[in-house]
Structure 1
Amino acid sequence: GGPFVASRGTVLSGARHLGAKTQRSARVGDGGGFAQLSMTLAPDPGTGSSLLSALLELASSPWLSRPKLVKHLQVVAVLQFIVSFLTMGFVCTVLMVYLFFTDCWLIPAVYAAWLIFDWNTPKQGGRRSSWVRNWTVWTYFRDYFPIRLIKTHDLLPSRNYVFGYHPHGIFCFGAFCNFSTEATGFSKKFPGIRPSLATLAGNFRLPVLRDYIMFAGICPVNRNSIDYLLARNGTGNAVVIVVGGAAESLDCVPGQNCVTLKNRKGFVKLALQKGADLVPVYSFGENEAYHQVIFEEGSWRRYLQRKLQKLLGFAPCLFHGCGFFSSESWGMVPYCKPINTVVGEPITVPKVEEPTPDIVDMYHDMYIRSLTELFDKYKTRFGLEETESLLIQ
């Protein structure tokens, strides 16, 4: 209960493992019961740099500077997208099977019951989540390349649309960022329009992955799913179809502007049957993201690629980007090349429930002309030469 008393200038040498000396001083006030304690840290030259100095050096290191940190976050955002689409479905399937034979068997059992109950949801408009589409990670994903969405004409919420996206590229970075997230502001540029990127139906049979991509507004590229969106889901729907598909990805190399379109008429017939307007979309720079080994037509390697494409639904491309830590090394990280996605002028399409081949061919030709005009109008703006042309195959 008495006053605290200590001598001035008392030095304690504790905490030597931190490389510092602690100086403690206390002073007694006139009224008793008052104490003042001050502590100072000073570097101990006998033990090297202090912890404080080390922290200061760490904070000032080049790889922790804000620009570097932002770039690392951009790379992580792109890699999580790639890894998710390549491995999430397979890994989650194996995990569910494994858990079924452990004490945690109830988890896969409940999910399997949910999967059966929810099986038809992807074919009935999916389960879009504006929260997932607005994740901050997508802004880092966008800024890595960067990716931009260019609007050329207004779209009416009173109509439905079929977007033809070109080219496929390796991973369709532009298609995903522009139409499955809000990173480039699709809803602000096209108010009242709900985009649905169509992808392989097999992805919706894989646990967890199906829910993840449904949250982004992705739908199966099959007739039931697209029929529902264009005929039974009101108006203001835009189904985005990567027309060239897996076959086109086998030809995507930097500097080449080639699209697989001559014999792709199914999307035109679908638009006629539903009375949905056709909209050409071209992404300048999509083919620049990776380097790919192209095998000659007629070679056994090309033959094997075609067979595996038909069997698996996707093309086994031999490609490479840069490494995680260096752009000079090879890896899965795409090259930082701008991707500019231009949404063209809609082609008004009447509703024809049973279109004849001649009508389909007529609108298919109109679509090719519109896509070519779009390419020619914007090619010099995005770094191409005036002499370059779009190759339709």
Structure 2
Amino acid sequence: MVKFAPLYVPWERRLQTLAVLQWIVSFLIISQLSIFVFIGLLFTRFWLFSVLYAVWWYLDGDNTGKGGWRSEVSKEWTVWGYMKDYFPVSLVKTAELDPSRNYLAGIHPHGILAPGSFLNLCTESTGFSKLFPGIRPHLMILNLWFRFPFFRDFIMLSRLVPSNKENAVHILSRKGSGNLLGIIVGGAREALNARPGAYKLLLKNRKGFVRIALMQGAALVPVFSFGENDSFDQIENSPGSWLHCIQNHMQNIMGISFPLFYGRGIFQYSFGFLPYRRPINTVVGKPIEVQQVTQPSQEQVDELHQHYMDELCKLFEAHKLKYNVPEDQHLEFC
């Protein structure tokens, strides 16, 4: 039976729902529509607009991997505050980050669409710059999102960066310090494990970010978002099932996973594509000091990787009871 929302809902909550809706629609619909708009304009009297944009896209291509345009205005948009209050999302500091250093933050888990990671690192809604003064955060996402015309420019305002080694090295090695690069280590494949109460991380064989940290001498920061996996449910796709096999195959081909997720609707709570109103608490752990090694050996990478996993486990265990995680629940690495 469908459970409908009350007829009279405070405007504050309506605005929160609208803020989340625009975010969902932007990534799932508007990004794809931008391709049709770009091509469609070529067959109208406004064809010059698409041609000029194509020239701009070509000339500005290198900027995608340099941290975007660092708009201080866009990260302060009111819409992000409403979106943060929808869940709500909070950022928890456990240690200082020295602005004279650069940092590579491993973020866990991926969840569906990673709303906590986006709000914490790409907006000021949770007060990142006040908690960590002098630190300039960036967040890596799939390269795919930067292939959509017009939409590409929108996400570049938020300091989103295409996910590849070259861009990571650029941000962590450029002049100055105080740069923090957030990498959702589990990536698109980990999203297939995202469902309420799941704590299974794709990390055991993910060592590229550790190697980059060693090469650049960037301190590693473990970050865990309690509640990130609770935002959506997902159709059953246990390992070995036909659905899981198809999803893995498509991810291998296209580089993006297709989790069949669902949450609540706009005017009812039973089914839809809006996330549930469940808290997301992102805990930033203590930095792991890393000495720069230009050409690290596999042994050095393995040792630091194990140290990182140990610190991530300690972070999870130290805070899980505060965020209603059962005492007998532990992180599972695969």
Name the TM-score, length of structure 2 as normaliser: 0.96
Q: 1:212 is matched by which residue type in structure 2?
A: F
Q: Give 1:298 shift.
A: 2.2
Q: 1:268 is matched by which residue type in structure 2?
A: V
Map of 1:183-332 to 2, 5 A cutoff? Answer: 183-327=125-269, 329-332=270-273
Q: Give 1:171 shift.
A: 0.9
* 8 Å CA contact 2:68, 2:158 repeated in 1: no
Instruction: Answer yes or no: is 1:389 the counterpart of 2:330.
Output: yes
SS in structure 2 opposite 1:130? Answer: coil
Q: 1:341 — aligned with what?
A: 282
Q: 1:162 — aligned with what?
A: 104
**Alpha-carbon RMSD:** 1.2
Q: 2:314 — aligned with what?
A: 373
SS in structure 2 opposite 1:294? Answer: coil
Which of 121, 140, 147 pairs up with 1:179?
A: 121
Identity between Structure 1 and Structure 2 (%): 45
* 8 Å CA contact 1:125, 1:228 repeated in 2: no
* 8 Å CA contact 1:152, 1:343 repeated in 2: yes
CA distance in 2, matches of 1:130, 1:63: 38
CA distance in 2, matches of 1:125, 1:69: 35
CA distance in 2, matches of 1:235, 1:68: 44
CA distance in 1, matches of 2:175, 2:86: 35
Which of 71, 75, 78 pairs up with 1:136?
A: 78
Q: 1:23 — aligned with what?
A: none
* 8 Å CA contact 1:63, 1:69 repeated in 2: no
Q: 1:364 — aligned with what?
A: 305
SS in structure 2 opposite 1:213? Answer: helix
Q: 1:151 — aligned with what?
A: 93
Query: Deviation per CA, 1:326-382, whole angstroms, max 9, x where unpaired?
Result: 21x200111110000000000000100100010000000100000000000000001
Q: 1:127 — aligned with what?
A: 69
Query: Deviation per CA, 1:259-303, whole angstroms, max 9, x where unpaired?
Result: 110000000000000000000000000111111113232233221
Q: 1:305 is matched by which residue type in structure 2?
A: Q
Q: Which has the larger radius of gyration?
A: 1
Q: Where do 5+ consecutive residues of structure 2 fail to align? A: 1-5
CA distance in 2, matches of 1:121, 1:318: 33
Q: 2:307 is matched by which residue type in structure 1?
A: M
How many residues end up aligned between the 2 structures?
329
Query: Deviation per CA, 1:95-130, whole angstroms, max 9, x where unpaired?
Result: 111111111111111111111111111122321111
SS in structure 2 opposite 1:287? Answer: helix
Q: 1:297 is matched by which residue type in structure 2?
A: P
CA distance in 1, matches of 2:176, 2:29: 35
SS in structure 1 opposite 2:182? Answer: strand
CA distance in 1, matches of 2:312, 2:250: 30
Q: Give 1:202 shift.
A: 2.1
* 8 Å CA contact 1:281, 1:342 repeated in 2: yes
SS in structure 2 opposite 1:120? Answer: helix
Q: Give 1:89 shift.
A: 2.4
Q: 2:30 — aligned with what?
A: 88
Structure 1 residue runs of 4+, over 4 Å off? none
Q: 1:339 is matched by which residue type in structure 2?
A: I
Q: Give 1:203 shift.
A: 1.5
SS in structure 1 opposite 2:198? Answer: coil
Q: Give 1:224 shift.
A: 1.6
Q: Give 1:63 shift.
A: 4.9
Q: 1:355 — aligned with what?
A: 296
